[in-house]
Structure 1
């Protein structure tokens, strides 16, 4: 159960407010009337404390639900005004329950103002206490999510590294490099540079939860260069991403995993080229490829797409959209604004 819904905290909090009110109300009553009645204790301390606590708590919960993702000055001003209004109404009701309108009008305004501020002060303390509980809940949740995301990142990184350092991958890369050295030494040097960039990115991104979209796209271009060098016109890549989205964030290796997924399940040849398109649609990145399934059974553990969808879930982002049509396979991933990360 969340701390904000704990009955134990509410009971203890009400008793604390009652004790504080007794310290102020009791001394003032003794000074003015010379005694404290049991009815006065129940009405002005215990019942009033319950009403103040529950009213202020209800105001905080309302604004938390209404502005759950907005930790702004506006929200806190509205919340303070809400507590002020609720406790002002509360103070008026308490006065009417114990005094007639004529008796209330006979009281000096300064005393009425003191009573109102006195009630409002406790309301603000209760509201501040619940805001602290919300912060503690959010901090605990964020800590747990960070730990889970680290585990998922590690799994994705290990899976990616495992795929990259497979003997056949290294063998194919070395074969490609050998052929380039014999035919085109300039291209061979570029191939080595791009290969180094791919591995550098894999190592650097392993400790990050999110990375800039521009960096992910640069890495994807380097990785695609290796694929293009090997498969030639058997694979194509088109990027159409809006410039204003380059500052957005994305879980690292997302695009590489999707490229690997496309190659794993589809034929790649000059006669049947695999066409991959990466484009932006509003706040989404859309990765699609034509479907030309490989013959026979393709062994797959489904870890790639599972890791991507799990990461976005942990980050409280919209769900990843996966669409499989007769001639096209599409994955849509939400882009994360830098300030919301």
Structure 2
């Protein structure tokens, strides 16, 4: 609108000066046609420099682009003047009007160039943001796979040590241990490629896994589960509870004298895993591996972040449960 009014002012002043009247044909030629031509010319200049200096956002590029718009519109302005007027008529126009016309044309061209530069900038910003998000997701997935692979050897090593001791002291219990170990590894293999699994299946696996821990630590560890039945058809990233149990054992004393107590309970659409806090002597609590694993899973799945609460006597992790229809 502003550009159209400026052009109308220029055209009206020059036409009245030379002809004493303004015609409809003159309005169409000088406002609509000329504006379109100026727009397309400036756009072509911007596209040329955008292709030539696609990866450069430098002062040099913008200066050359401004110079290109200036030259292109100077030539265009001269051509438009010759299209509508003879050289003698142009020379008869006051220089101030010619200068005003050129400045107007140049200003229009600069506005068009700035408009397209803004479009290119917004497109580049959007693309860069998307690429950053994709890279972030790829890094999270790589981190998750790395963390997942750290869990299996550690777990297998501890289980085999326990089994070796049982074979030498209690063969019947060793057979039971092997059966539960097989169930645990069956779950590990079945859930390995899944992003989510039913909470009911995860709880069954957790009980089998806890049997292995109970065999290893005896009265030094206990587990209580209190989850509402209507939540057991919800979903959860597989091995979440196993990692939290492993994390609790890793950072706390586990003995008959100082037993580790873990509870799993539901709280609305969240699962709350709590253990009493009795850190091992001389150990700094970091929680980098296990909790980072769980946090990465929920972030990749675009779910609410897990909530971690450290208190003097307890350590609590809340993880959101996911409805099947929203997964």
From the CA coordinates, give the structure whose radius of gyration is larger.
Answer: 2
Q: How do 1:295-334 and structure 2 match up within 5 A?
A: 295-297=281-283, 302-334=288-320
1:305 is displaced (CA, Å) by 0.9
Q: Distance in 2 between matches of 1:210 and 1:252?
A: 6
Q: Secondary structure at the match of 1:270?
A: coil
**2:202 — aligned with what?**
216
2-structure distance, mates of 1:140, 1:340? 26
CA contact (8 A) 1:148 1:314 kept: no
> C-alpha offsets along residues 118-157 of structure 1, whole Å, 9 cap, x if unaligned?
xxxxxxxxxxxxxxxxxx99x9999778755543442232
SS in 1 for 2:170: helix
- Residues 322, 332 of structure 1: 8 Å contact kept: yes
- Over 3 Å counting, the alpha-carbon distance change for 1:301 and 1:278 in structure 2 is closer
Quick one: structure 1 residues 140 and 205, their matched pair in 2 at CA, closer, same or farther if it must change by over 3 Å? farther
Q: 1:77-106 CA deviation, whole Å, 9 max, x = no partner?
A: xxxxxxxxxxxxxxxxxxxxxxxxxxxxxx
Determine if the alignment matches structure 1 residue 173 to structure 2 residue 163: yes
CA deviation string 1:246-286 (max 9, x = no partner):
12221111111111111111111222211100001001110
Q: How many residues align?
A: 216
Deviations, residues 150-178 of structure 1 (Å, cap 9, x unaligned): 43442232011121133x54222321343
Q: Distance in 2 between matches of 1:241 and 1:273?
A: 23
Does the CA contact (< 8 Å) of 1:240 and 1:280 recur in 2? yes
Give the Cα–Cα distance (whole angstroms) in 2 for the partners of residues 163 and 249 of structure 1.
26
Alpha carbons of structure 1 residues 243 and 145: separation in structure 2 relative to 1, 3 Å: farther
- Against the structure 1 CA distance between its residues 223 and 42, is the aligned structure 2 distance closer, same or farther, given a 3 Å change threshold? farther
Pairwise mapping of residues 1-341 of structure 1 onto structure 2 (< 5 A)?
Answer: 147-148=138-139, 150-166=141-157, 168-181=158-171, 185=172, 187-297=173-283, 302-341=288-327
1:207 is paired with a residue whose SS is coil
Aligned residue number for residue 121 of structure 1:
none
Q: 1:215 to 1:300 in 2, by over 3 A?
A: same
Partner residue of 1:101?
none
Structure 1 gaps of 5+ residues are 1-35, 44-135
Q: Post-superposition shift, 1:326?
A: 0.8
Q: How far apart in 1 are the matches of 2:233 and 2:140?
A: 21
- Determine the C-alpha separation between the residues in 2 that align with 1:174 and 1:326: 37
Are the equivalent residues in 2 in contact too, given 1:153–1:206 (CA < 8 A)? no
How far is 1:180 from its partner?
Answer: 2.4
